[in-house]
């Protein structure tokens, strides 16, 4: 498997300005589920999927976690490797990571703890048919 | 005088993972 990147971009930093697809600007810590849903609705070609966390494991790469999701209506299995501080947006809950303490330390972004069963927002390409 | 500062603006979709299952051929 490819070596995962340890670099997390600054858009997760508290105070980062995020532009929604509607043109509205919001701070990353103020985003709500509806902001993502509405943005996907007005975006051409992108759709929001519900991605349920089914397992959280240690990665073979030190300093990473291996997350397993089932994605969308098809319940497709997708796995990704991320640093434990990587935030995911959980429906109805908000930003969540495997290590809320590290996320707070590195990004000052308040987070819940990401757990098996959490339903995260992800995107994929809209089907053409 | 206040110097103008550029503020980075990030698109919403950069915050959420792109989780697309690999398509079978």
Report the residue of A72, A123, A125, A128 to disrupt the B interface, i.e. the one with the largest count of B CBs within 10 Å.
A123
pLDDT at A117 over 80: yes
Strand partners, A68: A55, A79
Interface of B with A in 1-25 (CB under 8 A): 7-21
pLDDT digits over B4-14, tens only? 667 789 999 99
Q: Residue A45: its pLDDT value, please?
A: 86
CA angle A36/A80/A117 to nearest 5° reads: 65
Average pLDDT score over residue span A50-54: 97
**Rounded Cα–Cα distance for residues B25 and A59 (Å):** 29
Contact assignment for A17 to B12 by CB distance below 8 Å: no
The alpha helices in chain A, defined as continuous H runs, are 33-42, 100-107
Report the residue of A87, A118, A122, A129 to disrupt the B interface, i.e. the one with the largest count of B CBs within 10 Å.
A122
pLDDT digits over A7-47, tens only? 666 899 999 999 999 999 999 999 999 999 999 999 888 88
Provide the CA B4 distance to its chain's centre, in angstroms: 24
**Rg of the Cα atoms in chain B:** 18
């Amino acid at each position: 498997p490819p070596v995962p990147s340890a670099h997390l971009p600054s858009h997760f930093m508290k105070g980062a300005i995020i532009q929604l697809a509607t043109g509205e600007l919001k701070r990353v810590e103020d985003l709500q589920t509806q902001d993502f849903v509405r943005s996907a609705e007005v975006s051409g070609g992108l759709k929001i999927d519900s991605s349920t966390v089914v397992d959280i494991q240690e990665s073979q790469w030190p300093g990473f976690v291996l997350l397993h999701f089932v994605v969308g209506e098809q319940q497709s299995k997708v796995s990704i490797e991320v640093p434990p501080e990587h935030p995911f947006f959980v429906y109805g809950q908000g930003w969540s990571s495997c290590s809320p303490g590290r996320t707070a330390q590195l990004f000052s972004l308040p987070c819940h703890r990401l757990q098996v069963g959490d339903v995260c927002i992800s995107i994929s390409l809209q089907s053409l048919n | 005088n206040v110097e103008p500062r550029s503020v980075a603006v990030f698109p919403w979709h950069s915050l959420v993972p792109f989780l697309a299952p690999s398509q079978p051929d």
